[in-house]
Amino acid sequence: MNSIKYLVFSVFLLAALAGCEKGQEADYDDNFHPRIIDNNGVFLSPSRVIFQGQSAVYSGLMFSPKPMEKTKVVWKVNDKEVSTDTAYTFTPTAGGEYEIKVEATYNGQVSTRISKVLVSPTTYTLKNFSHVALAYLSENGTAKQVDWANVTHVAFNCAKVTPDGLDVSKGQVNQVADELVAHAHINGIPVMLGVSGRLSGIDGWSLYQSNEFGNAISDPVRRSALVAQIATYVTARKLDGVDVMMTDLSDFGERNIAATGPFLVALKAALPAQSIITITVTTNWMHWGYSNLNLVNWVNVHAFEDGAISPGSPVAQPSSYDYMVAGANIWKNNHGPASKVVVGIPAFGLRFDELDGNGNNLGWGSYSYVPYSAILGKDAQAFSKETTKMDGKTVFYNGIPLVERKAEFLKANGFKGAYMWAVDYDVIGTNSLLRALNNKLK
């Protein structure tokens, strides 16, 4: 009887073992595709930005079937094999763009995870330039909107002065500022932090009657705190300097302009040595109030958007050649030299949305601003003109011929160069305004 029980038990055990082996074969047969399980989410973001000397760590991964036993794991950097471990730490010794790839291979089938790492170099060689072609990005701009072959400097208006201090959140989202600095330095181009108050829109003027910037720099205690915040951010993000966009005039223009002198002195003392400091100014009568401009590397002149858009104003070009020439000469003749003046060119247009019975601008709110890229999207030949129709409305802007004419004037008269506001409104390629500007300034 016991022998019968033993025989039954043995048969049952053998059947159970056979079943387990058969199940394993079903799980990991020749058609099984290997899996890479990312428990720590290290591949969750397709790209990341680090500074040279920092590391990108890829750990917490699981592989199915288990590596070493059945699955071969290979790590590659720019398609060069660097490790066969289940984790990898990438520590670059130079700036650049890198692709980190992990491959899991089982029975000839491969699973892959890829991460792009942009490394901001510790040092870089400044690009040679005979003139300034400054690409000014609005707070919504990104590195992808900069044509690195056609710029010498970049400014990023991601710092806003608020009653609570300096708001740099626009530069921190998705590492936008770090990405910009990395790409710029890889291309030998310096990046400045654009600091301003609240702006009214894409035209680059301050919001009507806002005075956060002016209030901050007019008060010695708040000025000191603001300077410290700016210097801390510039140092931490490896920026090359600051542009002070002083269009915050409003009803406090004279006081604000007078305060820029002490502000520039404090800024110069707080920033790292060799930092670039520029200031963006207007062309109205308040230019007389600026002082300590000897501390800045150059002056950016907002010589576009003449403001002639009151009720009843004729439908006309607001950023004309003549207006630019007059504004540039104000700073050349009264503050000079021309070699320290960089003149603004717009990459947006003014659309007259409503007209009165005489065909003139109807009122204060009857117009709108349109990026050059949107204008070109509506009219493929817009690059060759300076006026077109959008949705049946007349829009004036600077096309390539007008931009080239302005650039020729600046070059012929010894100006330091030009800046484009804002380069994220432009396009990259043959119809680019910045490209046309840079080519004529050479």
- 211, 197 contact by CB (below 8 A): yes
Residue 136 shares a structural domain with residue 69: no
What are the tens digits of pLDDT across the range 299-344?
999 999 998 888 999 999 999 999 999 999 999 999 989 999 999 9
Residue 155 shares a structural domain with residue 239: yes
CB atoms under 10 Å from CB of 175, counted, come to 18
| Cα–Cα distance for residue pair 174/178, rounded to 1 Å | 9
| Cα–Cα distance for residue pair 45/41, rounded to 1 Å | 8
Tokens of 124: 């870089």
Residue 40 shares a structural domain with residue 150: no
Residue 191 shares a structural domain with residue 91: no
Instruction: Give the 3-state DSSP-derived string for the chain, with helices as H, strands as E and coil as C.
Output: CHHHHHHHHHHHHHHHHHHHHHHHHHHCCCCCCCEEEECCCCCCCCEEEEEECECEEECCEEEECCECCCEEEEEEECCEEEECCCCEEECCCCCEEEEEEEEEEECCEEEEEEEEEEEECCCCCCCCCCCEEEEEECCCCCHHHCCHHHCCEEEEEEEEEECCEEECHHHHHHHHHHHHHHHHHHCCCCEEEEEECCECCCCCCECCCCCHHHHHHHCHHHHHHHHHHHHHHHHHCCCCEEEEECCCCHHHHHHHHHHHHHHHHHHHHHCCCCCEEEEEECCCHHHHHCCCHHHCCEEEECCCCCCCCCCCCCCCCCCCHHHHHHHHHHHHHHCCCHHHEEEEEECEEEEECCECCCCCECCCCCEEEEEHHHHHHHCCCHHHCCEEEECCEEEECCCHHHHHHHHHHHHHCCCCEEEEECHHHCCCCCCCHHHHHHHHHC
- 160, 197 contact by CB (below 8 A): yes
Cis peptide preceding 65, ω within 30 of 0: yes
Amino acid 23: pLDDT: 40
Tell which wins on pLDDT, 24 or 278.
278
Cα Rg of the chain (Å, integer): 30
Amino acid 18: pLDDT: 43
CATH number for the domain that contains residue 72: 2.60.40.10
Q: Is residue 13 part of a domain?
A: no
Domain final position from 94, 120, 146: 120
- Residue listed under structure tokens 């400014």: 155
pLDDT of 291 above 70: yes
Tokens of 250: 């409003």
Short-list 195, 21, 32, 11, CA closest to 108? 32
Q: Is residue 5 part of a domain?
A: no
Domain final position from 100, 120, 140: 120
- 245, 157 contact by CB (below 8 A): yes
pLDDT of 119 above 90: yes
Residue 329 shares a structural domain with residue 376: yes
Residue 115 shares a structural domain with residue 136: no
What are the tens digits of pLDDT across the range 369-414?
999 999 999 999 999 999 999 999 999 999 999 999 999 999 999 9
| Cα–Cα distance for residue pair 217/230, rounded to 1 Å | 12
Residue 139 shares a structural domain with residue 224: yes
Work out the average pLDDT over 75-94: 97
Could you tell me how far CA 61 lies from the centroid of its own chain? 33
In this structure, of 60-74, 246-260, 379-393, the range with the lowest mean pLDDT score is 246-260
Q: Is residue 2 part of a domain?
A: no
Residue 398 shares a structural domain with residue 369: yes
Amino acid 252: pLDDT: 65
pLDDT of 28 above 80: no
| Cα–Cα distance for residue pair 195/323, rounded to 1 Å | 25
Q: Characterise 92 by phi-psi region: left (phi > 0), alpha (psi -120 to 50), beta (else).
A: beta
Q: Is residue 225 part of a domain?
A: yes
Tell the burial category of 163 from Cβ atoms under 10 Å away from its Cβ (0-12, 13-18, 19+).
exposed
Residue 179 shares a structural domain with residue 246: yes
Residue 239 shares a structural domain with residue 370: yes
Q: Is residue 154 part of a domain?
A: yes
Residue 270 shares a structural domain with residue 370: yes
pLDDT of 29 above 80: no
Tokens of 175: 């590492």
Percent of the chain predicted with pLDDT > 70: 92
Range of the domain at 55: 35-120
pLDDT of 248 above 60: no
Pair type for strands 72-77 and 96-106: antiparallel
pLDDT-derived band at 250, boundaries 50, 70, 90: low
For residue 229, how many C-alpha atoms fall within 13 Å in the half-sphere facing its CB?
19
| Cα–Cα distance for residue pair 369/350, rounded to 1 Å | 5
| Cα–Cα distance for residue pair 348/245, rounded to 1 Å | 18
Cis peptide preceding 422, ω within 30 of 0: yes
- 407, 124 contact by CB (below 8 A): no
Amino acid 359: pLDDT: 94
Residue 321 shares a structural domain with residue 410: yes
Q: Is residue 126 part of a domain?
A: no
pLDDT-derived band at 135, boundaries 50, 70, 90: very high
pLDDT of 211 above 70: yes
Q: Is residue 24 part of a domain?
A: no
CATH number for the domain that contains residue 367: 3.20.20.80
What are the tens digits of pLDDT across the range 161-200?
999 999 999 999 999 999 999 999 999 999 999 999 988 8
Domain final position from 63, 95, 120: 120
Count of domains for the chain: 2
pLDDT-derived band at 7, boundaries 50, 70, 90: very low
pTM for the full predicted model = 0.89
Q: Is residue 127 part of a domain?
A: no
Amino acid 3: pLDDT: 47
Work out the average pLDDT over 20-48: 74
